[in-house]
Chain A
Amino acid sequence: MQQQEIHQFLENYFQANGCEIVENEKGYMTVQLTIELDKELMNRPFYWHYLEKTGGIPNPMKLTFITDQNAAPEEIKGEVIHFGSPRLHQIFESTKNLAGYIRLYEKQSLSYGQQVSLRPWLGMNLKISYQCDRKRDVFKSIGLQLINGQVVENFHERLLELQLTPKIPDYSFTLSPLIMPKSGVMRIENLLRNEIEVEDHNWAMEARERWQKDLQLLEHFYEEAEEKGESYENEKKALQEQYEPKVKITIVNGGLFYLTEKAV
């Protein structure tokens, strides 16, 4: 993420959360937090607890972020934000927390008094991590139509081209799913499992080889000990944790989307 992208990201985040951006200049911005975001980001439960008990006037904080030290005027004081800064990662986490689940409807602009039917889709964004003593990730966005079971990859990209609203638009009605969300999730899970299983797993084989090699060394080291003892067991467990290849699928977010027939 470039500094400019970070600036844009912060702007979007705070706006999406209903915060007033008091100042927004090149290289820095000042944000008036809402009560909710103060609680989310500022980590001061005692203050809020106290206020609620005494009924005082809440005074959420105002924060200044410097996104480009060279561009921001020198007298501006604030938190310097860059890709590695803990604050940014806190906000990353918060973004994911606040937007884990969603339900949206497609808005048809050309539907003069005509009834439009919307089809239910299950959309899931996932991260697949291939992990041994090293790790790599793949991001996937999958959509499953809950009537006919059609599966679409890069689902999120397609959604971005549509006009979506949280309320069902006038003259629109939703079709009932034939596949329940629960089994929809299972279909997606199985689909991914099948896909992953046929992938090339050289990385896992190599990790197992490394593991086996170190395990042999360990056995050899304790060969003559009458009682191998706790250290041995410890080391053995450590080797497993270090090398054992695993694929982990985690869900970033997802939800239900009601889309017109020609949307996807």
Chain B
Amino acid sequence: MAVDIEFDSSWLDGFFQKIEDDGPWGNWDLYKLAIEVEKHTVIEDFEGLQAPKHLPNLTPLPHQIEVAKQVIENMNGKAILADEVGLGKTIEAGLILKEYMIRGLVKKVLILVPASLVSQWASELTSKFYIPAVAQKKSYVWEQCDVVVSSIDTAKRNPHRDIIFGLDYDLIIIDEAHKLKNNKTKNYEFVQSLKKKFCLLLTATPIQNRISEIFNLVSLLKPGHLGNETVFYEKYKRDSRSLNDDQHLKELVNKVMIRNRRADTGIEWTERHVETIPIQFSAGEKALYDAVSELRSEDNWMATSAFSVMTLQREACSSREAVFVTLKNMLNKKEDPSPYFQAQIESLIEKVQAVQMNSKAEKALELIKKIDDKVIIFTEYRATQLYLQWFLKQNGITSVPFRGGFKRGKKDWMRELFQKHAQVLIATEAGGEGINLQFCHHIINFDLPWNPMRLEQRIGRVHRLGQEQDVHIYNFATKDTVEEHVLKLLHEKIALFEKVIGDLDDILTKLEFGNFEDYLVDIFGHSTSEGEMRIKMDNLNSMIQLAEEIKESESSAAAGNSSIS
């Protein structure tokens, strides 16, 4: 069979020139070296991965190597990478990219990621993979650099858009690709119009949902793989969630998608030990909490701001400082406050001032001393964070603060300080992505976020690949407060803390009831009686259980086929 053969003639001109000019000729030793180099860099097989040989400082896990091999050898370089959170999709993408670059199949690369991850991607590719990736900051970068990382939001806007369309990319990588599930959005349209020779879509929460989302995502990668729109929707109902019912569709999707589950990786995960630490209010704290709770019976309060009351209640469980800051803000923000409102706030502030001690902080101190090791304390409130810093210092415990808003450099610096010089890290947020604290294995949840995913992210900073010890999680819950109720729900009913991220992910998306937090606000904020609250909690419980059952039956049905959920 005829195959096109290209003979590169660029060498010839130089050769004839040298003959004509009688030199200058190269050095025999260098000439021999050049051939040695060539023999070392020639790759004699279509199959197999070269990348690991080039990456002495990276030890990819077996499942990551397997994914890279699969994508290159069986999926022709177009794939959705959908591993569960924390299994290292970035590493997989890096391996594939590196392999193609070594083999000379890919030169020009466009990497589209959320804005907050741009510099992290660039630095990981540079430091772990020795790929000179550049974060797009100036317009000339598009043309001058071969591997560019940018956010979709930047890339889709002019002048960037036109420049990008004028360039020939060999590989396009898109992180958080599940955001492209809607084919009516500008981002979808933008990605669709890109020419995709090789393409990787990375997503952690793939397609448990609507079948239309699968269709859109796969069609982006490989148009026609699932048929055209009309035929597809004739066959599968638009809103159906029956991906698993249809063996054929499932197989089709599996041809372009790889999903590793935590359990499949064969990696030993360390255990999580969860302990609830009940906290007893002091008299002053109790008085403050009760006073705040009484606002619920005030009509004008509940009508306008059930949410504020909830917030105050939760804050009262954290620290008087947190309550104080919110009260001040409420007063400042209110236009033309009535004397009654002012008096109310002032009386509450008096209650704040009457609080003498923080029972939780005392308990935390006792616990930290007992643990006698690195501890991370998570709190929802800046004011509590500041107070704890002061409080620990008073008691001779070294601590560093950590906030999601810190710049990358500061985050790394704080992490380093914590690792080398301080016993405690006090964090207000999971600190966003990419900050890994595996060297620590004790977490105190000083107060609880009402969003289970946020809670999971907190734990995920510590309980992740690379954690070698069991992780201890201490949940503080003040008795007879809304906090105790929430913890009970999260802990006992959803068994949240025992779960690993992937499971929770799946369950929450299955529930499809939107914002978990809103449910909690509704239950605890809008219930007029204990009875109503209990009924609503039970409802939520049974929904969660239902979702879990669906999931379980799916995973047993999917046994033997691990690549899709």
Contact = CB atoms under 8 A, between A and B. Distances in A.
Interface of A: 1, 9, 12-13, 15-17, 82-86, 92, 95-96, 98-104, 125, 127, 129-131, 133-139, 141, 156, 160, 164, 166, 181-182, 185, 189, 192-193, 196-197, 201, 203-205, 210, 214, 216-224, 230-231, 234-235, 237-238, 241-256
B45 A160 contact: no
Contacts of A182: 12, 16
Interface of B: 1-8, 11-12, 14-16, 18-19, 23, 25-47, 53-56, 72-73, 76-78, 103-105, 130, 132, 170, 192-198, 219, 222-225, 227-230
A254 B132 CA distance: 31
Given A17-B27, A131-B105, A238-B195, 7 more contacts: A83-B53, A101-B26, A219-B224, A242-B76, A242-B198, A245-B3, A255-B25
Contacts of B43: 135-137
Contacts of A205: 1
B25 A83 contact: no
Contacts of B194: 234
Report which residue of A130, A139, A205, A244 has the largest number of chain B beta carbons within 10 angstroms of its beta carbon: A139
Contacts of A16: 27, 29-30, 33
B26 A92 contact: no
Contact of B230 (A204, A224, A251): A224
24 contacts: A12-B33, A13-B33, A17-B27, A83-B54, A84-B130, A92-B37, A99-B26, A101-B25, A102-B25, A134-B46, A138-B44, A166-B28, A196-B5, A204-B3, A220-B224, A220-B227, A245-B4, A246-B4, A247-B5, A248-B5, A251-B12, A252-B38, A253-B11, A254-B11
B196 A238 contact: yes
Nearest to B76: A133
A154 to B, nearest CB: 11
A95 B33 contact: yes
B225 A217 contact: yes
B34 A96 contact: yes
A131 B132 CA distance: 24
Given A96-B34, A98-B27, A238-B196, A248 B6 contact: yes
B37 A137 contact: no
Given A15-B29, A205-B1, A217-B224, A95 B34 contact: yes
A157 to B, nearest CB: 10
A29 to B, nearest CB: 16
B193 A9 contact: no
B192 to A, nearest CB: 6
B6 A125 contact: no
Contact of B39 (A86, A139, A185, A219): A139
Contact of A222 (B26, B42, B196, B228): B228
A86 B169 CA distance: 22
Contacts of B224: 214, 216-222
B192 A134 contact: no
Ranked nearest first, the 3 interchain pairs of A and B with the lowest CB-CB distance are A84-B54, A217-B224, A221-B224
A134 B102 CA distance: 12
A136 B45 contact: yes
A249 B30 contact: no
A246 B42 CA distance: 17
B34 A253 contact: yes
A210 B5 contact: no
A84 B29 contact: no
Contacts of A86: 130, 132
A230 B230 contact: no
Contact of B228 (A156, A160, A214, A224): A224
A27 to B, nearest CB: 14
A101 B197 CA distance: 36
A166 B192 CA distance: 58
A143 B10 CA distance: 19
A139 B42 CA distance: 7
A243 B197 CA distance: 9
B132 to A, nearest CB: 7
Nearest to A139: B42
A92 B104 CA distance: 15
Residue of A84, A217, A242 with most chain B CB atoms under a 10 A cut-off? A84
Contacts of A224: 228-230
